[in-house]
Structure 1
């Protein structure tokens, strides 16, 4: 599995209802997408302590699905509207979701540096334990953990039913406009 995310920073005065409407009108187009596990349509709002941004997050079952999406009409339309964004991808060590993952309305992304001396096998096992333990929380609907061997960094995402009780320092907080589940 692979993760993929791009973030489109928008001006502070950008009418974010345009993004919400775009998600509502076009989000269904990724339902059942071949090779996709899930896509979370993430966005943040300046008044909520972030910056206006559209930042969808994908968990891919296959590299071919990711490849076909990036070279297909959906990504072309996004690039035509906002410019071609930098796409960040990583190798997933953990990715699981509950049957009601489409009910997610909030997301938290954590980015961590990896130590040069740590065992990747040990870290991979620890990330699987992290995911399985956190997924027992009723508020958690989907989790993924992935590492980027180009930057030796780790990205974790949690899709939540309700907003977290706290805003963890250094984490990115997003609203989830929709979750699409891919083809099995």
Structure 2
């Protein structure tokens, strides 16, 4: 499993209905994308839910590198880059994936929590703790799924989770909260469960 995200930060007065309309028109294009486990079309709106910015920030869980590369090199990513400029694309190596207690429900919000891997720790022990916390996150009420991954170029781990909670309700997870506009799940059953090594 590979995790990927890019963020398109927009002006403070940007009409975020443009993003909502874009996802409504184009979101279905990845519903059957080969090699994609999941794409969550995410948005933050300045002043809503504590967000300091207007941002479009899709998050991906890929089954295959080939699927990810075909998306980046020749797929819909080129349309986004043409409309908004080419954003930096963050990638993390998968550590864990778990279906949540509400795994079949629609997701309303997503939470992303990035944190550094502390200096001086035994990396294997730390990663095992990250995997355990992914399972605990998925076991909470309203969790659709939870995933964890690591960027070894920065020694940063990321927890990503989807929740059934409405915007007014805070999910039981620490991190930045995003509104979910659409979820493409062509391959959720093919994403490997549990620890990824």
TM-score, structure 1 length as denominator? 0.92
1:165 to 2:170 alignment: yes
Q: CA RMSD in A?
A: 1.8
Aligned partners of 1:140 and 1:160 also within 8 Å: yes
In the alignment, what sits opposite 1:182? 186
In the alignment, what sits opposite 2:35? 35
In the alignment, what sits opposite 1:145? 148
Pairs aligned (count): 182
1:122 to 2:125 alignment: yes
Cα distance change of structure 1 residues 142 and 167 upon mapping to structure 2, 3 Å threshold: closer
Aligned partners of 2:7 and 2:87 also within 8 Å: yes
For residue 117 of structure 1, give the secondary structure of its aligned residue in structure 2: coil
Cα distance change of structure 1 residues 166 and 81 upon mapping to structure 2, 3 Å threshold: same
- Give the Cα separation in 1 of the matches to 2:9 and 2:138: 30
What is the CA distance between 1:35 and its match in structure 2? 1.1
What is the CA distance between 1:80 and its match in structure 2? 0.4
- Give the Cα separation in 2 of the matches to 1:97 and 1:59: 13
Give unmatched runs, 5+ long, in structure 1: none
Aligned partners of 2:163 and 2:171 also within 8 Å: no
User: What does the per-residue CA deviation read over 1:70-111, in whole Å, with 9 as the maximum and x for residues that have no partner?
Assistant: 01230000100000000000101012335425x111011111
For residue 47 of structure 2, give the secondary structure of its aligned residue in structure 1: helix
- Give the Cα separation in 1 of the matches to 2:176 and 2:137: 18
Give unmatched runs, 5+ long, in structure 2: 191-197
For residue 47 of structure 1, give the secondary structure of its aligned residue in structure 2: coil
In the alignment, what sits opposite 2:195? none
- Give the Cα separation in 2 of the matches to 1:25 and 1:97: 28
